[in-house]
Amino acid sequence: MKRKHYVLLVLVLLMLFVVSGCSNNQSPASTTESEISIEQVNDFLNISGGLGPNGIGNVVAVIPHAHIDGPKNETPFYAFVNFKYRARDYIKYQVSYLSCTCREASVNMWQTMYVELTLPESKNPEDVKIRFLSFDKDSTGHYNGGHWGDSDPMPLGQTYELYKTEYISFFPKKDAKYIKSLSTIDDIAIEEYQTGDGRENFTLDALSGASVSANNIIRILHSVLDYHATDEYFNN
């Protein structure tokens, strides 16, 4: 337990150093010799405290993403890949991130996405597809790989079950090129959204007033896809 607490403390301190490298207008600062880069943080985490390829825990990483709020203001932010496992033709990830920021600090909780991304034969990152996406059970149905941390229900009544049934289910089988073409839910064509068995009555209007959760799912998928593309599979 002491070792675990030590690693967590070091992570927090390192993140404070990284965040302190941002300018007052919240744009990422350029790296200098006196600053610590995300790459250095990730390297340290994966060679210490039992984490990484030779440890008792899986590879972890800090990844940047562009958080977006209700009025569509963007803030450079960070998410945490706290689980990565490479299977034969795909990789499993858990990614924890902050989505809704309109709540009081006492309940400003993070959530965890569980996602499986393919390893295409072409080795072209644009051909990567979302194999599975969840904020609760993993693809086996046995383990809770994800966690929904946003409000349930939301102020206008949308529930996690609505998100799960109508919105989250939209992304599996979509490729990276398509996902990267989206910035917010406004970029999803309704014809495409309603394609598939049982989807003909689904509308994006159902998410009206609850777009922060929806839009940040897209933004986190962007970041995880970027991180996925750094796997050695794509460099061989």
The pLDDT averaged over each successive group of 10 residues in the chain (236 residues) is 43 43 41 76 91 90 96 96 97 97 89 98 98 98 96 91 97 98 98 97 93 96 98 92
Place of tokens 């902050």: 98
- Residue 52: the pLDDT is 87
pLDDT value of position 53 = 85
pTM of this prediction? Answer: 0.84
* 56: number of Cβ within 10 Å: 8
Task: Look at residue 34 in the predicted model and tell me its pLDDT.
Answer: 65
Structure confidence at residue 33 (pLDDT): 55
DSSP 72-136: --EEEEEEEEEEEEE-SSEEEEEEEE----SS-GGG---EEEEEEEE--TT--GGG-BEEEEESS
Domain residue ranges of the chain, discontinuous segments joined by +: 1-22+35-57, 62-235
Distance, CA of 87 to CA of 90 (rounded, Å): 5
